[in-house]
Structure 1
């Protein structure tokens, strides 16, 4: 069943007409990486202390969708969507704001294709008799402000870490075997599958700065100095990424003021852009 799910996800990503950017005559996202975690992994309970008490466990998310006492175990499926090289290169050439291609990715790659992918996989598994949901697309998914910056009740990066897909960088990005220029999505299903091994020795293993004390390329790439050896200033970053100038730029590109142009400079033209630099 794992192979069936993986193959269907890969097929959808590679064949979907919505996964296509006319400006580059190529896909938004390349072939995905997919891994599986037990929905009862103790790490999910630990996230309530690490992230916050509002962060849902897979079981809680499942019961939010299917009702009280509906959860009896299952699997979390985490998916890495690597951003296409042409989009990455366009953004790597920038020094202040996101490229047009990167901004359009945020609208049509994230808001259109990714949502379509989520609905397709949910329906695919539900029709086979396995209740499935993507928490980040549920009506009760929420983003909220904290003293340290924005947070959510379902962190795709932390879910991906639990599934063994990678570790965190100094910029709070998630470094996978396909690098940091990615998008993430996950599903909770009552289908019980064998799980993948989480091999990382710690949650920052793939970051050159954390692991070897070298690099810091993402610090130099940040146009507002939101990244330092002390970590990532989420508030400063958020204000830049979603600020008025970013919104205007997005509209000028043919994108959306609501999602803004983004930035992504710290995810491109860095050693971890498209690979795990520690490998």
Structure 2
């Protein structure tokens, strides 16, 4: 794909940079482990660097959580751009139907396709982050992918436990792409069986409207007091009406590392996803059943 661009980047152009790469890259096709696409057509959204929601994240999650301005200044210390001069570009990579169906059939361990997508699919997401940054830099626009920054690190939140100084899901929420569910997954118009990515750039793009009033609006449990099907999907009871027990979830993820290595020849942990599939919000924003 020709990445040269003589005009000021627009939302349409940036969306094309992302969707074209996902569609055309052999890493998401013939060169992928199964010789098939790991990700379907992505969603793309934008949020302003001065959006108050980033300060809200910081106040709730912890002082370690970056605003767009903070990660940009860490990356380019000689510059002091105003927050309103920055844009956060976010995207959602949806799992394929085959991957979702295969994992939905599982009761205890993740399926082969799911593990491959979590491993090689996230490596592709890393490549996509670099592609977006490099494409912007070629046009003279400074940009950084927060999760690829050497300053990025895991942290512990007093309120939420396991955390880090940037969250792709929170950036996507700010960019109008979804709200959070009972299991902490981001429910998007394409469901919550997804991965997310983001880049902070020194340019101004109109923000994508957030078509929701609160951060849990799309979850049937939080909005209607119903569902909880993700609770039933969890093999270790790490989900309940009280939310997501991150410690129990993480212990389980570590415990199945040997299973994944033995059965799929992939040495990794942190992979399950059973709560993301076989549920009403798997592939769409769920609708409450009419009585």
| TM class, shorter-length | over 0.9
CA gap of 1:255–1:188, structure 2 versus 1, over 3 A, is: farther
User: Do 1:164 and 1:199's aligned partners in 2 also have CA atoms closer than 8 Å?
Assistant: yes
Other-structure match for 1:184: 196
Pairing of 1:91-130 with structure 2 (within 5 A): 91-110=103-122, 112-130=123-141
Other-structure match for 1:219: 231
User: Do 2:93 and 2:196's aligned partners in 1 also have CA atoms closer than 8 Å?
Assistant: yes
Instruction: Work out the CA distance in 2 between the residues paired with 1:274 and 1:190.
Output: 33
Q: SS of the counterpart of 1:183? A: strand
Instruction: Work out the CA distance in 1 between the residues paired with 2:165 and 2:230.
Output: 27
Other-structure match for 2:72: 62
Other-structure match for 1:6: 15
User: Do 1:92 and 1:265's aligned partners in 2 also have CA atoms closer than 8 Å?
Assistant: yes
1:199 Cα offset (Å): 1.9
Other-structure match for 2:260: 250
1:146 Cα offset (Å): 4.5
User: Do 1:173 and 1:180's aligned partners in 2 also have CA atoms closer than 8 Å?
Assistant: yes
User: Do 1:208 and 1:215's aligned partners in 2 also have CA atoms closer than 8 Å?
Assistant: yes
Instruction: Work out the CA distance in 2 between the residues paired with 1:54 and 1:278.
Output: 36
Structure 1: any 5+ residue segments left out of the alignment? none
Instruction: Work out the CA distance in 2 between the residues paired with 1:125 and 1:10.
Output: 15
Match of 2:99 among 87, 91, 102: 87
Q: Are 2:142 and 1:131 equivalent residues in the alignment?
A: yes
Instruction: Work out the CA distance in 2 between the residues paired with 1:140 and 1:254.
Output: 32
Q: Are 2:206 and 1:197 equivalent residues in the alignment?
A: no
Q: Are 2:147 and 1:140 equivalent residues in the alignment?
A: no
1:154 Cα offset (Å): 0.2
CA gap of 1:261–1:194, structure 2 versus 1, over 3 A, is: closer
Match of 1:207 among 216, 219, 236: 219
Instruction: Work out the CA distance in 2 between the residues paired with 1:116 and 1:38.
Output: 24
CA gap of 1:27–1:231, structure 2 versus 1, over 3 A, is: same
Aligned residue pairs total: 274
Instruction: Work out the CA distance in 2 between the residues paired with 1:253 and 1:109.
Output: 18
Instruction: Work out the CA distance in 2 between the residues paired with 1:215 and 1:26.
Output: 33
With structure 1 as the length reference, what TM-score do the two structures score?
A: 0.94
Instruction: Work out the CA distance in 1 between the residues paired with 2:257 and 2:249.
Output: 14
- Point out the more displaced range, 232-241 or 246-255: 246-255
CA gap of 1:67–1:253, structure 2 versus 1, over 3 A, is: farther
Instruction: Work out the CA distance in 2 between the residues paired with 1:189 and 1:54.
Output: 20
Residues 22-79 of structure 1: per-residue CA shift (max 9 Å, x gap): 43x4211111100111011111112111111100000001011111543232101110
After TM superposition, the runs of 4+ consecutive aligned structure 1 residues lying more than 6 A away are none
With structure 2 as the length reference, what TM-score do the two structures score?
A: 0.90
User: Do 1:170 and 1:231's aligned partners in 2 also have CA atoms closer than 8 Å?
Assistant: yes
Instruction: Work out the CA distance in 2 between the residues paired with 1:160 and 1:116.
Output: 18
Instruction: Work out the CA distance in 2 between the residues paired with 1:143 and 1:45.
Output: 19
User: Do 2:110 and 2:271's aligned partners in 1 also have CA atoms closer than 8 Å?
Assistant: yes
Match of 1:40 among 50, 54, 65: 50
1:255 Cα offset (Å): 4.7
